[in-house]
Amino acid sequence: MMDGFVTVIREGLDEAGFTNIPIMSYAVKYASSFYGPFRDAADGAPQFGDRKTYQMDPANREEAFREAASDEVEGADFLIVKPALSYLDIVRDIRGATHLPVVAYNVSGEYAMVKAAAQNGWIDEQKIVLEMLTSMKRAGASLIITYFAKDAAGYLAD
């Protein structure tokens, strides 16, 4: 989240009487090409410029720790790392640096790549999905937000 937003949100919720509402902070949100399918579907691509002014440089590890620590101090209850798959090292390192739950956000481009490869018969979708989600959990994610939620629930039920 942008600096100060957790504080503003927390204070606004508290003033409105919502004192027990958890805040999931986009603490570590990289400027990523993996957001493409969602942006296309939502017609949310930037009309000019890019989002690099408020999303993090993928090459910058240190900023992740500063942003996560800042959001924790401001009162976040969960710290999101987005996207998940290319930043499992960051998930692991943030997990080791905080007492808060870390959330791995498995985004639309990660989903679309697996779906396309499976439709072409190049991969076993079920095995890949479960392997990806397992890697996020193993990296330290307390929670995983994913477009694969229904698929994974079905796989695990079988």
Helix (H) or strand (E) run with residue 11 in it: helix 5-15
Residues 6 and 71: their CA atoms lie apart, in Å, by 6
Q: What is the pLDDT of residue 19?
A: 85
Q: What percent of the chain has pLDDT over 70?
A: 86
Residues 82, 127, 137, 150: which is the catalytic one? 82
pLDDT, tens digit, for every residue of 28-63?
A: 998 887 876 544 544 554 544 454 555 788 888 999
What pLDDT digit, counting tens, does each position of 70-91 carry? 999 999 999 999 999 999 999 9
Task: Write down the CATH number for the domain with range 5-157.
Answer: 3.20.20.70
The verdict on whether 137 is a catalytic residue reads: no
Tell me how far the alpha carbon of residue 72 is from its chain's centroid.
16
User: Could you tell me the residue ranges of all domains in the chain?
Assistant: 5-157
**Residue 76: half-sphere exposure toward Cβ, Cα within 13 Å:** 27
* pLDDT (0 to 100) of residue 34: 80
Residue 117 identity? A
Q: Which of 29, 52, 137, 150 is catalytic?
A: 29
- Tell whether pTM > 0.85: no
Per the annotation, the verdict on 127 as an active-site residue is no
H runs (alpha helix) in 16-148: 36-41, 61-74, 88-97, 108-119, 125-139
Percent with pLDDT over 90 in the chain? 61
Q: Exposure of 127 by Cβ count < 10 A (0-12 exposed, 13-18 middle, 19+ buried)?
A: exposed
